[in-house]
A = this chain, B = another copy of it.
Amino acid sequence: MNIGDAAKQSGLPAKTIRYYEDISLVVPARGENGYRVYGPDDVHKLRFVQRARGLGFSVEDCRALLSLYEDENRASADVKAIAQERLAEIADKIAELKAFQKTLKHLVDHCHGDQRPNCPIIDGLAGPDH
């Protein structure tokens, strides 16, 4: 199948699929005419990557996960380790965002939001000693 169909089947834009070949993530065969030819296995891999990216795994994580996906003798512990690392990153990011949220919400709540210049948000950003 050509790249357009692979795109439909995998849910990835053709551009992205070409990019994945560029970085040797999913490398298809080539037809006589130079067109990329995707077999069922390639499409499975693309879908796999699509889902993993959708869960926020980095492309490098996807590369590692793909090679485990393909490895009949993988240890599930290796997969779990990657996923747990990602979970930790997610938790960190959520904590960071919640801290932003708290600070910002506090500032917003104290701002009148009218036509006057006085603004606790600006004051907060300018710093404690202003």
Binding site for B on A (CB under 8 A): 44, 47-48, 51-52, 55-56, 65, 68-69, 71-77, 79-81, 83-84, 86-87, 90-91, 93-94, 97-98, 100-101, 103-105, 107-108, 111-119, 121-122, 124-127, 130
Q: Which 7 A-B pairs have the closest CB atoms?
A: A76-B119, A80-B113, A77-B113, A75-B115, A80-B111, A74-B117, A56-B100
Contact A125 B51 (CB under 8 A): yes
Contacts of A103 in B (CB 8 A): 55
Q: How many monomers of this chain does the complex have?
A: 2
**Complex formed: what's the CA distance from A91 to B72 in Å?**
41
**Complex formed: what's the CA distance from A73 to B122 in Å?**
13
Contact B75 A87 (CB under 8 A): no
Interface of A, helix, strand, loop or mixed by DSSP: helix
| With contact pairs A90-B104, A91-B101, A101-B94 given, residues A116 and B55 touching in the complex (Cβ less than 8 Å) | no
Contacts of A68 in B (CB 8 A): 119, 122
Contact B127 A47 (CB under 8 A): yes
**Closest Cβ–Cβ distance, residue A119 to chain B (whole Å):** 4
